[in-house]
Amino acid sequence: MTSPHEDGGRRPGTPRLLVAVAVAAEAEAVLRGLRDGARPVPLEGPASAGELRRSEHASGTEVDVLVAGVGPVAAAVSVAAVLAAHPYDLVISAGIAGGFAPRAPIGSIVLAEEIVAGDLGAETPEGFRSVAELGFGAVRHLPPAGAVRLAADALDAATGTVLTVSTVTGTAERAAALSARHPHAVAEAMEGHGVAEAAARYGVPVLELRTVSNAVGPRDRGAWRIGEALGALERAFLHLPYRALIEEAQR
């Protein structure tokens, strides 16, 4: 993992944000939004896996973008390693996702009111039981509600439960089962719970922001709109109220 800076180069008192994405294409979308925000730190070449890239938004917020890898384990390990080395005021798990229709149509932005490990548990004769129900741990993280509302209002985003899954949903049956267990679900992705676990270990508040590329349900790659979702991700990071968001998350 590489870093473009040492903490000694940071200005004291400057708000610090870590954005964790899964893949380089998501990092590039986030960085394009940050560059449009004015006063960017010059960045050379595309972001690569495991790379930490720094930009500076017009609000004076220092923003690092981490390509953390796909899945909750890779995300947790990568984010924990960065948090162990550098101080941050807020972590955002970001990227594209599947949306639960009609609450989150393709191209929309969603913010997690709760980040839930959707398939961490056991199948039983009575149905799925989470590890929390089995008494083995927690499956839910609650982002700071005021920060969620602030970001959602700024981006005209839907809010609700964002599920973290290790296997992407590809059937109508599984989509229906997830919706039944999580009636407020707006999206599913693969990293949020891992990012939230790492942030919690270091006492840093966390948000999850997703843009929708496809509907959760039968797998149909021809219907996916990845470019549209990446464009929405870029716009989201252009318009986020960074300093106010960090201040609200710290309350």
Most confident segment among 12-26, 58-72, 131-145, 157-171: 157-171
For residue range 150-203, list pLDDT tens digits in order: 999 999 999 999 999 999 999 999 999 999 999 999 999 999 999 999 999 999
Question: Domains in the chain, please, with CATH?
Answer: 7-249 (3.40.50.1580)
Q: What band does 115 get if pLDDT is binned at 50, 70 and 90?
A: very high
Predicted local distance difference test score (pLDDT) of residue 109? 98
pLDDT at 29 over 70: yes
Please state, in angstroms and rounded to a whole number, the distance separating the CA atoms of residues 85 and 160.
Answer: 32
Predicted local distance difference test score (pLDDT) of residue 36? 72
% of the chain exceeding 70 in pLDDT: 90
Predicted local distance difference test score (pLDDT) of residue 8? 44
Identify the three-state secondary structure at position 7: helix
Q: What is the DSSP string of 142-189?
A: ---HHHHHHHHHHHT-EEEEEEE-SS---SHHHHHHHHHH-TTEEEEE
Predicted local distance difference test score (pLDDT) of residue 147? 98
For residue range 31-82, list pLDDT tens digits in order: 999 887 655 455 556 666 677 887 777 788 999 999 999 999 999 999 999 9
Predicted local distance difference test score (pLDDT) of residue 46? 65
Structure tokens at 105: 């149509």
Q: What is the mean pLDDT of the chain?
A: 90
Q: What band does 10 get if pLDDT is binned at 50, 70 and 90?
A: low
Q: What band does 226 get if pLDDT is binned at 50, 70 and 90?
A: very high
Identify the three-state secondary structure at position 233: helix
Among the listed residues 155, 170, 56, the one whose alpha carbon sits nearest the alpha carbon of residue 108: 155
Sign of the CA dihedral with 12 first, then 17, 18, and 24 last: negative
Look at 11 and 150; give whichever has higher pLDDT: 150
